[in-house]
Structure 1
Amino acid sequence: MCLYSVVVPVYNSEHTLQELYTRLEKVFRETIKEEFELILVDDGSRDRSFAVMQALREKDPRVKIIQMARNFGQHPALLCGFAHVKGEFIVTMDDDLQHQPEELPKMINVMKERDDVDVIIASYEGRKHNLIRKLGTKLSVWATSKMLGKDPNLQITSYRLIRRFLVEAMLKTNTYLPQIGNLLVLSSNRIINVPVQHA
């Protein structure tokens, strides 16, 4: 059995964490049928997120909690979570349910079929963002492609499935203001998109 480590940066998400856990647990139990751990990194939340995480951990020992001293941002929170993963494959996803756990099997199935792929990044079908955010994303993609020599058609999102050796490589980099997507592109050319539904 493979072990999957799901790393979720948490910021003021008291209203979505229980549902995120419930849906993830069901997907791994009924569809993926593999072992998983859920690493929740509290990035300086000011609501009851930490209390909700504690309740989840009391119910399920597969839930791990890391509490940051203050709000550092999504990417440092992910790197902090990466330092504690035990899985052969690492999943990153957001805490607000825009990344649907039910779409994860699509990414895992492709990874199982493709030995030539190190990272799968979800690309969004029916993206639910407003026009300004979509334009900002396009500009960001263009700039990143120019700076890093990235395929401009490769979508960079925060819903990802990564082989463990790349996570270990990222932990060894000493980068100010790290961006996980950029670190992945610099570490491997074997990255593909898999389309998923975006909530």
Structure 2
Amino acid sequence: MEVQNDITYSIIIPAFNSGETITQLCSEIVTTINSIPASFEIIIVNDGGNVATWEKIQKIYTKIDCKISIIRLSRNYGQHNATLCGIKNASGKVIITIDDDLQVNPSEILKLIEEYTTKLPDVVYGIYKNKKHAAYRNMGSSLVKKMAKLFLDSYGKGSSFRLFTASIAEKIVEHSQSFIYIDELLLWYTDNISFVEVEHHQAKKSRYSFFSLMKMTFNISTNYTALPLKLITYLGIFSSFITFLFGIFFLYRKIFKNVPLGYTSVIVAVLFSSSIILFSLGVLGQYIQKLYQIQNKKPTFFIKQKMNK
């Protein structure tokens, strides 16, 4: 990332199968920023997906009247990784990220800019007054944010529609692990964060399914928290306590009532303890896998093609 004095805003769009919306989105961004006016650039990162989307992006590149960079990744790396790619290639003093599906009207960018110029926070989030996602998506998003609030010491609110300074962006791009969660990285470097309400519109098709949101929740918990390890500790303490009570119970029956311990009680005890051990090994295996990926330097993304003007 190399900041240039002649560019104020870098607007980053991670795109995935968005051929129906990307042209309108870019056109409205140009109209919005020109109304201020201010110097800006648009960076579109095509995160895998179909060929039609990349063809639309190339047409935008040839026709649009502003500074623009388009990047094609070799495969689908995920929204946050694609956004990080855009940040690394940005040169503005202020970074703005916006989704490709027109759930947020580009005119709402002015609210982020107004909040930034008025209060000078390091980060400004656009938060939705009324979400118009499907019920499963709202439930999944709510789970991710609640988990972040409880275990990542975050505000528990935010979105992919955000503005942050180049000084924060320069710190974020230093991270190179294979799984990136930008909102957590922002919290590592600042607590000077503002929020503004924006309108939310229904998308034709969500980028995330319920299962992909659950996968993201799991990845966040194993990459940015020690929560699973803590759960193992608590589970071990709890199972030890339960096993101790069972032991006292069967010992009492053996001594005072001369009841044989029996096959069933032994099997139950063995299966219970074995399941705890297997679960614990599974969680530890996930952390070892993350360390293995870091050691092998699994890439955050790989650029297949890049054009800028």
TM-score normalised by the chain length of structure 2: 0.61
The offset of 1:125, in angstroms, is 1.2
Mean alpha-carbon deviation: is it higher for 2-11 or for 86-95? 2-11
The offset of 1:85, in angstroms, is 0.5
The offset of 1:132, in angstroms, is 2.2
1:41 aligns with 2:40: no
Residue aligning to 2:122: 118
What does residue range 177-192 of structure 1 map to in structure 2 within 5 Å? 177-192=179-194
Distance 1:99 1:63 in 2: 21
Residue aligning to 1:9: 14
1:164 to 163, 166, 172: 166
The offset of 1:190, in angstroms, is 0.9
Q: Which letter maps to 2:62?
A: E
Residue aligning to 2:33: 28
Unaligned residue ranges in structure 1 (runs of 5+): none
Residue aligning to 1:95: 100
| Secondary structure of residue in 2 paired with 1:48 | helix
Contact 1:12 / 1:49 at 8 angstroms: preserved in 2?
A: yes
Comparing both chains, which one has the higher relative contact order based on Cα–Cα distances under 8 Å and sequence gaps of 6 or more? 1
- Alpha-carbon RMSD across the aligned residues, in angstroms, is 1.4
Q: Which has the higher strand share?
A: 1
Contact 2:115 / 2:194 at 8 angstroms: preserved in 1?
A: no
Residue aligning to 1:55: 59
Distance 2:20 2:51 in 1: 10
Distance 1:26 1:194 in 2: 21
Distance 1:48 1:139 in 2: 33
Q: Which letter maps to 1:123?
A: I
Q: Which letter maps to 1:126?
A: N
- Per-residue CA deviations over 1:41-67 (Å, capped at 9, x if unaligned) read 011121411111111111235121111
Residue aligning to 1:129: 133
TM-score normalised by the chain length of structure 1: 0.93
Unaligned residue ranges in structure 2 (runs of 5+): 1-5, 202-309
Larger radius of gyration: 2
1:142 aligns with 2:169: no
Contact 1:56 / 1:63 at 8 angstroms: preserved in 2?
A: no
1:74 aligns with 2:79: yes
The offset of 1:2, in angstroms, is 5.5
The offset of 1:156, in angstroms, is 2.0
Contact 2:128 / 2:199 at 8 angstroms: preserved in 1?
A: yes
Q: Which has the higher helix share?
A: 2
Q: Identity, % of aligned pairs?
A: 30
Contact 1:92 / 1:160 at 8 angstroms: preserved in 2?
A: yes
Residue aligning to 2:208: none
The offset of 1:162, in angstroms, is 0.7
The offset of 1:135, in angstroms, is 2.1
Distance 1:58 1:131 in 2: 39
Mean alpha-carbon deviation: is it higher for 87-96 or for 51-60? 51-60
Contact 2:12 / 2:96 at 8 angstroms: preserved in 1?
A: yes
Contact 1:14 / 1:47 at 8 angstroms: preserved in 2?
A: no
1:83 aligns with 2:95: no
The offset of 1:7, in angstroms, is 0.5
Q: Which letter maps to 1:178?
A: I
1:18 to 15, 23, 41: 23
The offset of 1:137, in angstroms, is 1.9
Distance 1:20 1:151 in 2: 29
The offset of 1:145, in angstroms, is 1.2
1:151 aligns with 2:155: yes
- Per-residue CA deviations over 1:102-141 (Å, capped at 9, x if unaligned) read 11101100100112x1000110012111222222222211
Distance 1:13 1:79 in 2: 19
| Secondary structure of residue in 1 paired with 2:195 | strand
Q: Which letter maps to 2:76?
A: N
Contact 2:15 / 2:100 at 8 angstroms: preserved in 1?
A: yes
